[in-house]
Structure 1
Amino acid sequence: MTPTEMEHRIVRYGDLRPCKTAFIDAHTPGSDQKENFTIIGGGVSESPDQHVHIALAHGFNIGAAGQPPKCRNSLHNHRTAEVFFVLKGRWRFFWGEHGDAGEVILEEGDIFNIPTNIFRGFENVGTDYGMIMAVLGGDDAGGGVIWAPHVIEDARAHGLVLGNDGKLYDSKQGQTLPDGVDPMPLLTADELAQVDTPSPMQVVGGYVRRYLDMVALAQSGTPCKVIGAQGIIRDKPGFEIDLLTRASARTQPHRHDRPSVLMPVKGHWRVDYEGGSATLAPGDTMSVPENLDHTAVPAMTGEAALYHIIGTDDAAGPTWKG
């Protein structure tokens, strides 16, 4: 593969193209300044304005959310996995239909494998613009987002209506629902009763891992298996995630039988591949083609850590409890 061909599989942090109208809460005060990014795959955006950087199927989606301080993402649910790691800033994640069932604060490098079938939201509680990177299960990311009823009602009060076709219609721009399209129905009481409300101990103890703890585990010379059947978060969401550090970087060329993704969180990383090389910085995302020999090692002295994501044959469905 030539360097020119590979550059088309690298999305640089500075080249990310945001969408500010991706979801139903785009006009709701407190959520109207967020930016959504779809890096790999179709994502779950409800807006035709969403730019997709790499459309190739990987078995999972890669996205990101950027938000200024005090901006929040409204409470929603997914049918498949949603995993976040913090790239920049400090973030509060909260869950429950009204966001009052529990919360956890994540710092840079921390990772959160949010269980399926719970309402979740997140807020930038830092002092500067923050960025979190996301991995969503499945090529179609589970068919979209399920919103808490009050989110849909709040959005309607500010001019945005979600149709049952999964698309947004903005009355502020003179848009109305097309013939044959009805508003997305609110979840019924029976449907709401089927949504899980785990305790803070269950969520934080089972699905959150701290960056420094993972770095310590990766100092043994092998990557820290973060998410997987044998991971420190035991789950099979249709992909696996490892954390590599300087001590656990693989210096021998290797390949995978399916595409993989490299996402630095600390330091610069040099990726040598058959045909060329590239240097990645935090916030960059690189899709490595299947069956391509490559290595990834820190390019400079100092702290270095990188998340590696690869698909598996497991179904991208409800959280696995093995």
Structure 2
Amino acid sequence: MFIVHSGHWRLPFGPNKEDGSIVIGPGDVASVPIHMFRGFEKLDEGVGFLFTVLGEDNPGKVTWAPAVFEAAADHGLKLAKGGRLIDTSQGDYTLQDVELAEATGDDTAAELKTPPMDKLRQCVVAADAMTGNPNSRLAMEGVEEAGVITPVATDDGFKAGPISGWWPHGFNVRRLTMSAGAYIPQHARAEVEVIFVHSGTLEVSWDGGAIIMGAGDTLSVPVGLPHAFRNTASVDLVAFVVRGGDAPGLPQFVAGVPMI
């Protein structure tokens, strides 16, 4: 899963980039299915930043297309198991005690078929197509929470979609928007919560402490920790929140704070 923080990108598909592509820009989200070849091309000048989430604690290893091995060999590069590229242009001494990866065979490559482009387009949500969910328990004055990746309907009021996928994700992605001064009272989560600030400023506070997050910052909130959010800046905050599991539960607000 890729959230574009900066830059414009083309994601080409297929072992030789022959199966089509999609273009994504700042604020867009794309979830690329497993077991297919994909690549990344930065289309504009300047530094690009993709925030990426891989499913499960051990996401496995990369399978390189056959053409990658051929191109690497032409430049004196060898691929070690684990994905490390080794430059042998100055001699093979760097290969000592290194186990090289075997080139991807044609049979293996043929099994990693690219889905039809109409299905792949269902795996992308443009920034301007994300809409707040009024049923979100975080929806209150100046606060919107939009579903982005929701594999199944959840206990906290989100329907499946707009990206649900036909492969396992193991997490949800939401876009949190807060206007200047907006506040979400202390609440706790029973699942992992990772916050990535796309633009603006976010204060995350808890009993005895607080931090200020700016654009590009990432925070993993400890499970069960009561915490509050506040937009302390004069401009809107846009943050993406990754929630662990296919169906996150309701936020548990601190006693005395009404459920909105």
Which TM-score tier does this pair reach, normalised by the shorter chain? 0.7 to 0.9
SS in structure 2 of the partner of residue 156 of structure 1: helix
Instruction: Say which structure, 1 or 2, has more relative contact order (CA 8 Å, 6+ apart).
Output: 1
Equivalent residue for 2:170, pick from 238, 245, 250: 238
Residue equivalent to 2:23 = 105
Aligned-partner Cα distance in 2 for 1:250–1:203: 37
Residue equivalent to 2:34 = 116
CA RMSD of aligned residues (A): 2.3
Aligned-partner Cα distance in 2 for 1:295–1:304: 15
Shift of 1:258: 3.6
Aligned-partner Cα distance in 2 for 1:132–1:166: 20
1:217 aligns with 2:132: yes
Code of the residue aligned with 1:225 in structure 2: it is: G
Residue equivalent to 2:88 = 171
Q: In the TM superposition, what are the counterparts of 1:1-322 in structure 2 within 5 Å? A: 83-141=1-59, 143-164=60-81, 166-172=83-89, 174=91, 175-178=93-96, 181=99, 183-204=100-121, 206-214=122-130, 216-218=131-133, 221=139, 222-228=144-150, 229=152, 230-235=160-165, 236-246=168-178, 251-312=184-245
Shift of 1:242: 0.8
Residue equivalent to 2:254 = none
Checking the alignment, whether the CA contact within 8 Å between 1:164 and 1:184 is kept in structure 2 is yes
Shift of 1:208: 0.1
SS in structure 2 of the partner of residue 234 of structure 1: coil
Q: Deviations over 1:197-230 (max 9, x none)?
A: 12222111x100011111x335773511211222
Q: Deviations over 1:143-177 (max 9, x none)?
A: 21110011112112223211346544331464443
When residues 311 and 173 of structure 1 are mapped into structure 2, their CA distance, relative to the original with a 3 A threshold, is farther
Greater shift in the superposed pair: 109-118 or 293-302: 293-302
Shift of 1:277: 1.0
Shift of 1:86: 0.6
Aligned-partner Cα distance in 1 for 2:37–2:176: 31
Aligned-partner Cα distance in 1 for 2:210–2:90: 47
Query: What TM-score, normalized by structure 2, do the two folds share?
Result: 0.79
Checking the alignment, whether the CA contact within 8 Å between 2:2 and 2:31 is kept in structure 1 is yes
Q: Deviations over 1:88-143 (max 9, x none)?
A: 111111111111211111111100001111110111112322111111112222x2
Aligned-partner Cα distance in 2 for 1:153–1:144: 19
Residue equivalent to 2:156 = none
Aligned-partner Cα distance in 2 for 1:121–1:165: 18
- Tell me which structure has the larger Cα radius of gyration: 2
Code of the residue aligned with 1:227 in structure 2: it is: I
Aligned-partner Cα distance in 2 for 1:173–1:131: 33
Aligned-partner Cα distance in 1 for 2:102–2:64: 10
How many residues align? The count is 227
Code of the residue aligned with 2:132 in structure 1: it is: L
SS in structure 2 of the partner of residue 86 of structure 1: strand
Code of the residue aligned with 1:110 in structure 2: it is: D
SS in structure 2 of the partner of residue 137 of structure 1: coil
Aligned-partner Cα distance in 2 for 1:309–1:299: 22
Aligned-partner Cα distance in 1 for 2:98–2:9: 40
SS in structure 1 of the partner of residue 102 of structure 2: coil
When residues 291 and 110 of structure 1 are mapped into structure 2, their CA distance, relative to the original with a 3 A threshold, is same
Query: What TM-score, normalized by structure 1, do the two folds share?
Result: 0.65
Aligned-partner Cα distance in 2 for 1:84–1:270: 24
**Unaligned ranges ≥5, structure 2:** 153-159, 248-260
Shift of 1:189: 2.2
Shift of 1:268: 0.9
Code of the residue aligned with 1:242 in structure 2: it is: R
Aligned-partner Cα distance in 2 for 1:110–1:234: 16
Checking the alignment, whether the CA contact within 8 Å between 1:102 and 1:199 is kept in structure 2 is no
Checking the alignment, whether the CA contact within 8 Å between 1:218 and 1:245 is kept in structure 2 is no
